[in-house]
Amino acid sequence: MISVASATKRYGRTAVVDDVALELGDVGVTAIIGANGAGKSTLLSLIGRLLPLDSGRIEIDGLDVGATKGDVLARLVAVLRQENHLTARLTVRDLVGFGRFPHGRGRIDAAGRAAIEEAIAYLDLEPFAERFLDELSGGQRQRAFIAMALAQDTRYLLLDEPLNSLDLRHAVEIMRLLRRLAAERGTRVVVVLHDLNFAAAHADRIVAMRDGRVIADGPPASVMRSEVLEAVYDLPIDVREIDGSPVGLYFR
């Protein structure tokens, strides 16, 4: 379990994450939604110890994120930020291989090699495995980074807007993949999503944030309601049921 206790992160005088208490990782796929600046990405970075907490405490399976050794955490949780500006010229297979770094400090054994090939196959990257990252499209590169996180073989996987720069087909494929990971490997996925309908269609649980606080939390049916979504996004959103699942209409 990931337990967040009164976590706070300030930039200047504004609290971007404001006294958040939350338990995550109870279900397969948890989606965090909210408007720009709601604190979703910051919260994910705090959990993944990419940012230091100002106050509060975050534990993953009982290990304090701020005090546990880096490589111990790296075998437990993988976190992927949205911008991966890359200047290094690596092949896809090399990059995915670095996902094994926490397991062998650069030495890759047979199990590691199998994990790398599996991650590459999971994301349909076999045709590009020997290509350099700077020769790929944005979507292919994004998938390569997700494959690296997969090769890390952790119980928890934190992804910050992984659908950015993906076309619709690849976006749907990534969400299906996250579901598959949860079902086949028991991975607990926490994913920040921009599009609430992707969250509604694929997540087991939706956490909605606004102004650094959690304002709604529960299964999609309980969060996907007009009055809740209007409070989250400051926008009237009509929710319809299509084939038994809720869909938010907000395009006009």
Partner 1 sequence: MALLAVASTFVGVADVTPGSLLAQGTDGEAARLLVASRIPRTISLVLAGASLAIVGLIMQMLVRNRFVEPSTTGTAESAALGLLAVTLLAPGMPLIGKMGVAAVFALAGTGLFLLVLRRIPVRQIVLVPLVGIMLGGVIGAVTTFIAYRYDLLQTLGTWMTGDFSGILRGRYELLWIAFVLTVLAWVAADRFTVVGLGRDVATNLGLHHGRVLAGGLAIVAVITATVVVTAGVIPFLGLVVPNIVSMVIGDDVRRGIPWVAVLGAGFVVACDLLGRLIRFPYEIPLGIVVGVVGAALFLWLLLRKGSRAH
Binding residue (CB under 8 A) for partner 1 from 118, 132, 204, 230: 132
Distance of CA 13 to the CA centre of its chain: 27
**70 vs 186, which CB is nearer to partner 1?**
70
What DSSP designation does 195 have? Answer: -
Among the residues of the chain, which ranges form H helices? 40-47, 70-74, 92-98, 101-104, 110-122, 138-151, 168-185, 196-202, 220-223, 226-233
Q: How far is the CB of 46 from partner 1 (least distance, A)?
A: 12
Residues 6 or more apart whose Cβ sits within 8 Å of residue 226: 236, 237, 238, 239
Binding residue for partner 1, selected from 12, 36, 88, 234, defined by CB under 8 A = 88
The single residue among 12, 36, 67, 70 that binds partner 1, judged by CB under 8 A, is: 70
Q: Which of 27, 32, 26 is nearest to 46 (CA)?
A: 32
* CB closer to partner 1 out of 101 and 250: 101
For position 71 contacting partner 1 by CB under 8 A, the verdict is: yes
The residues in 198-237 that bind partner 1, with binding defined as CB under 8 A, are none
Minimum distance, C-beta of residue 223 to partner 1, in the bound complex (Å): 29
Residue of the chain from 35, 50, 63, 172 that contacts partner 1 (CB under 8 A): 50
Regarding 91 and contact with partner 1 (CB under 8 A), the answer is yes
The number of angstroms, rounded, from the C-alpha of 104 to the middle of its chain's C-alpha atoms is 24
Q: How many residues does the chain have?
A: 252
User: Which window, 102-110, 112-120, 163-171, 195-203, contacts partner 1 (CB under 8 A)?
Assistant: 102-110
Other residues' Cβ atoms within 10 Å of the Cβ of residue 187: 20
Q: Which parts of this chain interact with partner 1 (CB under 8 A)?
A: 48-50, 69-75, 78-81, 84-91, 94-95, 98-99, 101-102, 105-106, 132, 134, 149, 152
